[in-house]
Structure 1
């Protein structure tokens, strides 16, 4: 069994004194700081999803939106659009949650971040054994649920649902159901 050890430094340490502009999503991939402008579809989907998830968690876990998570590498600093933190999880010495506290990561992708979400994040989330990774793609009106992570950087199970169907997140001992009928549809 492989044990993941946390680097002494967090990828987020590089941004400690940075003055970053608002309206951009900031993450670190392969040691590079990536800033992505935020779109209206992403915002609408998060506004629809977050209250549904929070209500169903009802004190059994925590929901975070765009909050830095420490991953076991100084080259990767991700802040999932929505992160479900396992019940009883505690913050580390930096005041952040670590990768092993995540029950699910949900990303609403944009065309400019497709490679990052479909390849790099998928690999990192699987290697870190994050049980559920959901990619919501407003360009084709689908949600892809990845489950059963492997240390090879893949997920053994994948299910795709269309906007309008229920997005079911199978967490430890419970399910969260997100109604997607209010998600904005693409025009193409």
Structure 2
């Protein structure tokens, strides 16, 4: 960690109220701050979370993930882990406990969601990563992580448009995307 990173962390610790509206992540050694998400983004996260059976799965938002071998502590929009796979304490959940990570693309996150986090999550051997893109009105499900470091990736990709069901075999369910709203523009 650099002196700049340490000063930034100290500033956040000293004045948390200033940073409440921001999402802050560490991605491959870089501190990334993003404005809070908009209504469509949060609505999609809620629609996904509410479909995942709570009796079997923890469905956590704003939860930091520890990625072994990476200088990264991403905060996915939704973390799904089987009950009992991790019970805490601490702010970092080991990537190995995750079953599914979900990112909803925003105007400023497209590059990170489609490329950086794809590689980071694959390096962490997260079994499934779902990218929900309200600009392109599509979902991309990535499975079968391979490789390590910056060359890590997912071997299997399934893309579907909003309105089509998305089979989430790792959760034993099918995701209904018919209620997902879209946003104008194409940040990709």
More helix by share: 2
Stretches of structure 2 that go unaligned for 5 or more consecutive residues are: none
Task: Tell me the equivalent position of 2:83.
Answer: 87
CA contact (8 A) 1:85 1:103 kept: yes
Cα separation, partners in 2 of 1:183 and 1:74, compared to 1, 3 Å: same
What whole-Å deviation, never above 9, does each CA across 1:54-92 have from its counterpart, x for those lacking one?
Answer: xx2x42231111211222256211111011113321245
Q: Deviations 1:94-127 (Å, cap 9, x if unpaired)?
A: 3542110000000001131111111111011111
Superposition map of 1:167-178 within 5 A: 167-171=166-170, 174-178=171-175
Alignment RMSD (CA, Å)? 2.5
- Structure 1 unaligned residues grouped into runs of 5+: 1-10
Alignment of 1:57-96 (within 5 A): 58-73=54-69, 75-91=71-87, 94=90, 96=92
> Given the two structures, how large is their TM-score scaled by the length of structure 2?
0.81
Q: Secondary structure at the match of 1:112?
A: coil
Q: Which aligned pairs between 1:131-142 and structure 2 lie closer than 5 A?
A: 131-142=127-138
- Matched pairs, number: 173
CA contact (8 A) 1:128 1:151 kept: no
Partner of 1:35: 33
Q: Whole-Å Cα distance in 2 between the matches of residues 23 and 17 of structure 1?
A: 15
Deviations 1:10-66 (A, max 9, x none): x9xx4772525223222111222211121222112112211111xx2x422311112
